[in-house]
Each structure stands twice: as structure tokens, then as C-alpha cells.
Amino acid sequence: MGRLRRSERLVYITKYLLQHPGETISLNSFVTALGAAKSSISEDLALVKSALDQMGSGRVETELGAAGGVQYLPGREGERALALAWELSTRLSDVQRIIPGGFLYLTDIVFSPRVAAQVGEVFAARFHARRPDYVVTVETKGIPIALATAYSLGIPLVAARRENRVTEGSAVSITYVSGSSRRLQTMSLARRALPAGARVVIIDDFMKAGGTVRGLQELLAEFKAEIVGTGVLMATADPPEKLVRDYLSLLVLEGVDDVRQEVRVRPSSWLLEEGGEEP
Amino acid sequence: MGRLRRSERLVYITKYLLQHPGETISLNSFVTALGAAKSSISEDLALVKSALDQMGSGRVETELGAAGGVQYLPGREGERALALAWELSTRLSDVQRIIPGGFLYLTDIVFSPRVAAQVGEVFAARFHARRPDYVVTVETKGIPIALATAYSLGIPLVAARRENRVTEGSAVSITYVSGSSRRLQTMSLARRALPAGARVVIIDDFMKAGGTVRGLQELLAEFKAEIVGTGVLMATADPPEKLVRDYLSLLVLEGVDDVRQEVRVRPSSWLLEEGGEEP
């Protein structure tokens, strides 16, 4: 690109930061890419930082000095996280979503690219400070929100499989009891998918008794991973005691009643506490 | 937010457009959000458009008039698409990736959030003009690139399952013969996942004989869907005749030889033609 005006540089820098979340970018790389003086780039960055900070959607961190750089950390906290949880609660508390057997249809929500991106921002904001190296999930419906969380944190995603795949080489498999259906299930992860001793955040779409996350914990123990956080999109109110402690859910499923045709989904209480009152 | 300076408005508009790809946003919504005059917003949009167009990564389309608005379409074409294909070819042509049996390990690549986002931009650029309503894939490894493609196109993702899930209600299932393993497989999709007559783009990670995509075609026929495009990350050179015509692959797997320890992956020829010569 030729010599750019300030307005063009601001657009370029904003776009570059947004598309490289969690990555430290040196001032010099902007100097080279934009053909501007270091002092101009510094001023540009200050303007971008001030604007993004004001929007309250993530933040820009700058490190000064020769090895200095700038990093964008997407995030959705406080009232913006709560607004998302209310929006999803409303969409999910729809009797049309009741599946015979007392299940709730949430496939369209968890596979929505926009919803996944926004949920990923909430988890990224919560777990960034714990410095995870990987996001881990288990196929299938947790993958979109886990991918989005990993994207926002700037780290890779690892997905355990329900069966061992010959195309992934040697793998570690475990059997576990699904907490809700009480069925024996298998979960496996390729040896090469995760280095030993990694710091991981577990992300999944749904938790009832917590058997799946408990299974993932056991699987991850085989990789000597340190689990620094666990996030699920929705947890059921019942049973109140899960097999897993210390998890974060965005939504609580109070109940699905397919006789009375009632569904009740609400934001988790930590969101209500941090995000202010119901709008 | 209070009254903003132009520099802040440019950052806000850039971020908003990037986070709402494929969506037409009215001038008035920016006027309201930013508390600026319509004429100022028009000038801002012209600046943002000119800067994004210059970067060659997607484009901004503006519609004039009372119902007018602005839309950002992410895209990666020409030399930028080819550069991505070369980068992935190099990473994948690594003998460390050979799995006994002549398979190639690509799980870390397909689950990389950054790679998925970039591959999604390539497919979005190719398929946008065909006005798809949905991206469709089949679990599991195709989900990240399919999600990213759907995100860039601003449309929903639908993922067929390998087995019928009771939690998704009534579903259509088909059995098909996997082209490479010659095994009988099952694929199913919930009735409510896709309305009849939708225009869909199929996205998957890998194609050998094409049996999986052929299976998806059959499944989609039950939904009277119109398949307007098919994209895969990587197709094998052998067999040259696939069960599916008219697909687009980014990469070609020339061969994996686990005796001689050789892997050869290269960009597809259409990328070489459109993107210029090898760098």
C-alpha cells in the first residue's frame, strides 16, 4: 500500500487488531505495513485504544519499550454479557423448542456463527487472566462456542472425539458414565493433539449432571493438563449438585415441561450480579 | 456514548462492520449510535470503504437512498487466497504428519480458529454471489471452516450428525457408502434444522472419493434444498474422478507415502491461475 492518510491507518489498525486477538503486535510491524513514522503510529494506536476502550467491548493493552507492542483482547462483560444472556434466554424460552421427551432444541442457537462469537467473547473475558494455552471441548455441539472462545483468546482449539479415529494416530481413550442418561460412553483424544502439562479451559454447550465435563477432566488428566476454567452455555437447575465444581454457565435451564408446554431459561446469577438489574 | 470525534467514529464503524458481515446496516443506525449528523456518517463510511477496499480483504457495498445502507463482505481472493493455500501446503507437507496407514494428520489445522477464519473468507468470496441461505456440513472436522464460512457470509450453519439424536426431534436419516472405506454410514438432520427449498453451500474438510458429500447431497434432496456450491479444504489427487462434480478445493493432496516418508500437498490449480505464480 502507498502512503496512507490517518483515517485509512485507523481503519487498517482496527481491522488488524480485531482479526488478531490475543496476539502482541509490534509497533514496527505497523510502521512497515503502513509506511508511516513511529510517532504517527503511536498516535494512531492511542486513538484506536481510546475508541475501543470506550465501546466497552474488549480492551487494547499496550506495552511500551523496544519490545513493546499492542494487543487486542475481545471481551463481553457486565451489562453487555447480561444483555446477551437475556436475549438468548428469551429465544430459548419458546415452547416451539420443546422436543418430545422433555428436551430443548438448541442446535440452531449453538451453531449460529454470531451467537457463538458473542458467547466466545464472554468466556474469553472471564478466562483470559488465567492464561490458558488451549481451549478443549468434546464433539459436537460445543465446537462452535469453543472455537469462538479460542479465537478470542488467540489460542488453539482441541476437540475430543466420541470414538477413536484411525486417521489421528495413537490416542488416549476413556470410558465414562454420562451423568444424565447413565449410559457408558467413550471419549478419546489423539496423543499429538495436546502437549503434556498444558493449561486448558474446557468449553461445552450443555451441562446436566456434569458427566461429560467430568469425563473430559479424566481424559485431560492423562495429558497432565491443568484445567484453569470451565464454561458452559447452559446448565440445568436440576440436579443442583453437579459432578463438577467450579464451572461457569451463561444460562440456567429451570425446566422443560412437555405436558404443560412450558420452558424457563434465565441468565446465571453471576451475570445478574455483575450486569445490573433486568432491563 | 457521548459525542465522538471522527477518529473514534471510524474505529467504531470499522469494528461494527467487521463484526456484522453480510448484514445491511442503515445509515440511520450509525447516526443514532454515534450521535453525529447524517452527512458526517456518510463521509465516515466513504473513508472506511475506501480504506477497506484498498486492503483487498473483502469489500464494502453501499446502497443509496432512503432504505440505503452499508454492508461488509469479508473475502480473500487472488494472491491473498493463494498465499494462504501455500502456507497451509507447506505446513501440511510435513512428514511428522504421517499417520500409520497412509493418513495425514490435519486435525490441528482444521481446528485452528485463525486458519478456519481465513479459509472461511476464501469460500465466502467464492460463494457469496450465489446467494446461499445456509452453510451445511457434517460433523465433525468440517465444522470450524463451515462455521467461519457461514460467519463471513452472515448466514446460519447447519451440521448433519453421524447418528440420530433424540434431543433434536424428528429427523431425516440416510445411509450411504463412504467412497474411500466402502463402509455403510449414516447421516441425519433434524427436520427443523433446515426449511424446505433453501439455497445451501456445502463445506467440508476433506474429500477423497466424495462419498460423504454425495451423502449430504442425498440428505439435502430430502429437504428440497438447492445446492449452490461445494467447498472442501483438501481433496486427494487420487481418485481423479470423484462421486461429486463441481466442487472447489483449496488444497490438493498429491500423496502420502508412509514407507518413503513423503507427503505432497499443493494449492489447487484454480488458485494458481487466479493468484499469479508461486511466490
ipTM: 0.94
Q: Based on the fold, state whether residues A50 and A164 are members of the same structural domain.
A: no
Q: Based on the fold, state whether residues B49 and B136 are members of the same structural domain.
A: no
Mutate to test the interface with B, among A9, A12, A13, A15 (most CBs of B within 10 A): A15
Q: How many CA atoms lie within 13 A of B135 on its CB side?
A: 30
Domain of residue B67, CATH code: 1.10.10.10
Long-range contacts of A125-128 (CB under 8 A, 24+ apart): A125/A58, A125/A73, A125/A74, A125/A75, A125/A76, A125/A77, A125/A81, A126/A229, A126/A231, A126/A248, A127/A153, A127/A201, A127/A228, A127/A229, A127/A231, A128/A22, A128/A73, A128/A75, A128/A153
By the 8 A CB rule, do A62 and A49 touch?
A: yes
- CA torsion A170-A172-A173-A177 (nearest 10°) is -170
Q: Return the SS3 of A278.
A: coil
d(CA A123, CA B222): 38
Q: Based on the fold, state whether residues B120 and B257 are members of the same structural domain.
A: yes
Portion 17-46 of B in contact with A at CB < 8 A: 18-19
Query: Would residue B1 count as lying in a domain?
Result: no
Query: Model confidence over B23-78: pLDDT tens digits?
Result: 999 999 999 999 999 999 999 999 999 999 888 778 899 877 666 789 999 999 99
Per-residue pLDDT for B278 more than 70? no
Rounded to 5 degrees, φ, ψ at A68 are -70, 165
Q: Based on the fold, state whether residues B54 and B82 are members of the same structural domain.
A: no
Could you give the C-alpha distances from A80 to A14, A83, A86, B117, B126, in angstroms and in order?
21, 5, 10, 24, 34
Query: Would residue B172 count as lying in a domain?
Result: yes
Q: Based on the fold, state whether residues B68 and B181 are members of the same structural domain.
A: no
A:B CB pairs within 8 Å: 161
For chain A, say whether B167 makes contact (Cβ under 8 Å). yes
Residues 6+ apart with CB under 8 A from A129: none
Q: Which residues of B touch A11 (CB under 8 A)?
A: 10, 14, 47-48, 51-52
pLDDT value at residue B62: 85
d(CA B142, CA B149): 11
Alpha-carbon distance A24 to nearest alpha carbon in chain B (angstroms): 15
d(CA B245, CA A130): 48
Q: Based on the fold, state whether residues A145 and A164 are members of the same structural domain.
A: yes
**Angle of the B143-153 helix axis to the B113-127 helix axis, nearest 10:** 50
By the 8 A CB rule, do A151 and A120 touch?
A: yes
Query: Would residue A1 count as lying in a domain?
Result: no
Tell me which of B25, B43, B73 is where a domain ends: B73
Residues 6+ apart with CB under 8 A from A85: A250, A251, A267, A268, A271, A275
Q: How many domains does chain B have?
A: 2
Query: Would residue A225 count as lying in a domain?
Result: yes
| Boundaries of domain holding A210 | 78-275
Tell me which of B18, B44, B73 is where a domain ends: B73
| Residue with more model confidence, A161 or B182 | A161
Domain of residue B114, CATH code: 3.40.50.2020
Residue-by-residue pLDDT tens, chain A, 279 positions: 557 899 999 999 999 999 999 999 999 999 999 999 999 999 999 999 999 988 877 889 987 766 678 999 999 999 999 999 999 999 999 999 999 888 999 999 999 999 999 999 999 999 999 999 999 999 999 999 999 999 999 999 999 998 877 778 899 999 998 766 778 889 999 999 999 999 999 999 999 999 999 999 999 999 999 999 999 999 999 999 999 999 999 999 999 998 999 999 999 999 999 876 544
Tell me which of A73, A103, A129 is where a domain ends: A73
Q: Based on the fold, state whether residues B83 and B120 are members of the same structural domain.
A: yes
Q: Based on the fold, state whether residues B119 and B229 are members of the same structural domain.
A: yes
Kindly report the average pLDDT of chain B as a whole number: 92
